[in-house]
Amino acid sequence: MTTSFYLAAAVALASTLMVITRARIIHALLYFIISLFSVSIMFFAAGAPFAAALEVIIYAGAIMVLFLFIIMILNLGAEAAAQERQWLTPGIWLGPSMLALILIADLAFLISRGGGYANGLYAVTVQPKDVGIALYGPYLLGVELASLLLLAGLIGALHLARRNVPEEGEDGTGIN
Amino acid sequence: MAPVSIDNGLMVAWALFVLGFIGVLVRRDLVFVLMSIEVMLNAAGLAFILAGAKWGKPDGQVMFIFILATAAAEVALGLGLVLRFHHKFKTLDTDAASKMRG
């Protein structure tokens, strides 16, 4: 457990360092996904399998796809194809692939040693059932507030992404 | 096998947060700034999870779920703003919007 945790922590720090130093967004995105995976393994090793699953499904699965959509939308230029060809050189995939291989080995080691998530970092695994009971018990108000926040985010994103929002700054310099 | 001390785990969370903070400070690309904010939120979630694991309580994971909801809402709004920004200024450089009016 301890070895897995520190290995995943090292991968997380290395990939996050790569995220903030890359020149192109798509490279940073690859490293960021590796960073999220390694943090997920840290959650798993710390006895929080539910949070680990959520990290992969929502962060790496949903939020990163939003970033990918933005990159796709913003790269609709004529030079996009040439850029694409340039990005697909094998050297770019090498770094994230190596880090991902380390993580796979780490996860295999974790599962083979622990036999699932039976024993966490502190010998206590918080089961998803306990999380659910806490979430819909003492934290019910928080759940309602989170739903309001998500609704506000939905309406705000819908409004911001509309094509023909009437411009208030007519000279094109101000932000409306 | 020796358990991981909570101090070391929190040091990792701190280091991740600082990396995200440096990213916000040094990058000029809006998408990079958003990504660095995600790194910082992620580090905060890691700190919550480790503290919850330390005491063996589900509260840390509950807070992580709230952080996840916040991050999702923030990213949806932030990327909408990035789209508007790119539509208006034809660039993602934050310095393009350094002039205020009014």
Tell me if B94 is assigned to some domain: no
Tell me if B4 is assigned to some domain: no
Q: Over the stretch A59-77, which tens digit does the pLDDT of each residue have? A: 988 888 888 888 888 875 5
Q: What is the pLDDT of residue A147?
A: 94
Q: What is the pLDDT of residue A108?
A: 83
Nearest neighbour of B77 by CB, restricted to A58, A70, A156: A156
Q: Which residues of B touch A16 (CB under 8 A)?
A: 16, 19-20, 39
* Count of C-beta atoms within a 10 Å radius of residue B32: 22
* Host domain of residue B46: 11-89
Torsion of CA B38, A39, B66, A122, to 10 degrees: -150
Q: Report whether pLDDT(A115) > 70.
A: no
Binning pLDDT at 50, 70 and 90, where does residue A36 land? very high
What number is the ipTM of this complex?
A: 0.89
Tell me if B61 is assigned to some domain: yes
Complete DSSP assignment for A116-145: SSSS-TTS----HHHHHHHHTTTTHHHHHH
Q: Which residues of B touch A169 (CB under 8 A)?
A: 101
Tell me if B30 is assigned to some domain: yes
Tell me if B101 is assigned to some domain: no
Give yes or no for a contact between A41 and A103, defined as CB atoms under 8 angstroms apart. Answer: yes
Q: Report whether pLDDT(B71) > 60.
A: yes
CA-angle at A152, arms to A146 and A153, nearest 5°: 90
The token duo for A36 is 């999220």
Contacts of A130 (CB under 8 A, 6+ apart): B58
Q: What is the pLDDT of residue B8?
A: 85
User: What is the phi-psi region of residue A28: left when phi exceeds 0, alpha when psi lies from -120 to 50, beta otherwise?
Assistant: alpha
Contacts of A101 (CB under 8 A, 6+ apart): none
- Maximum mean pLDDT: which of A67-71, A102-106, A155-159, B38-42: B38-42
Give yes or no for a contact between A29 and A71, defined as CB atoms under 8 angstroms apart. Answer: yes
Q: Over the stretch B16-64, which tens digit does the pLDDT of each residue have? A: 999 999 999 998 888 899 999 999 999 999 999 998 888 888 899 999 9
Nearest neighbour of B46 by CB, restricted to A39, A67, A70: A39
Domain count for chain B, please give it.
1
Say what percent of chain A tops pLDDT 70: 77
Tell me if B76 is assigned to some domain: yes
Are the Cβ atoms of B64 and A73 closer than 8 angstroms?
Answer: no
Q: What is the pLDDT of residue B1?
A: 45
Tell me if B6 is assigned to some domain: no
**What architecture does CATH give domain A2-121?**
Up-down Bundle (1.20)
Nearest neighbour of B79 by CB, restricted to A50, A70, A130: A70
Strand partners, B29: B93
Helix (H) or strand (E) holding A91: helix A90-114
Tell me if B98 is assigned to some domain: no
Q: Report whether pLDDT(A109) > 60.
A: yes
CATH number (domain holding residue B49): 1.10.287.3510
Q: What is the pLDDT of residue A173?
A: 47
Q: Report whether pLDDT(A28) > 80.
A: yes
Binning pLDDT at 50, 70 and 90, where does residue A84 land? low
Q: Report whether pLDDT(A118) > 50.
A: no
